[in-house]
Amino acid sequence: MKQSKKRHGISRRRVIAGFAAMTLIPTPAVWAQSGSTAGTHRKVSSFRVAQWQDHFETLKNGAILSDTQSKVLQYWSEDQSVYRLYPSSVPLTEDLTRLGYTTIIRKVEGPSWRPTPAMKERNPAWPDYVGPGPENPLGTHALYLSWQYYRIHGTNDTRKIGRRSSNGCIGLYNEQIAELFELATVGTQVKLI
């Protein structure tokens, strides 16, 4: 038996060393990703969870933190009994991204959508108006921010979530914006980072 193991170059020591190496060296699936990826688009995302104390002085009226790098939105209730974390879509480019503090000034279930003048200039083919319903880019619910044209809203295109895909707004899955809509109030503080 020892003869046949040696003939094929297999020994107990080599098997153990092979398993040890597998835990230290990336798997072939990872190696395959580093090869040529011509024509392949990959989503790269970093993920970090923030603490509300790092961004807000208090939780009066609750707080929403939208991280445009991690593409997540976090919500804390005023009494800290409710915390939610949602994946989100964020603005396409830096020039469309507004950062800083704002508040929710209005809540609309079944919002209508009108492209901003800048959006219409970029894409004249967009309709002037889309009423509530399944084709509405704002989805089922919208939280209007104190910044003109900026919203936290649902989406009719779930492929946008987790990507840079909006014209300035923060998008959530319709089920999740419905939940946030119930949790947040007019006056909830919002920060985009």
Catalytic residue positions, numbered: 153, 169
d(CA 82, CA 77): 5
Question: With the CA atoms of 112, 118, 124 and 129 taken in that order, what torsion angle do they form, in degrees rounded to the nearest 10?
Answer: 10
DSSP output for 20-86: HHHHHS--HHHHHHTS--TT------------GGGT-S--TT-EEEEETTTTEEEEE-TTSS-EEEE
Give the whole-angstrom CA distance, residue 63 versus residue 183: 10
Strand-strand pairing, 189-192 and 63-67: parallel
What phi-psi label fits residue 87: left (phi over 0), alpha (psi between -120 and 50 degrees) or beta? beta
Residue with tokens 């190696």: 31
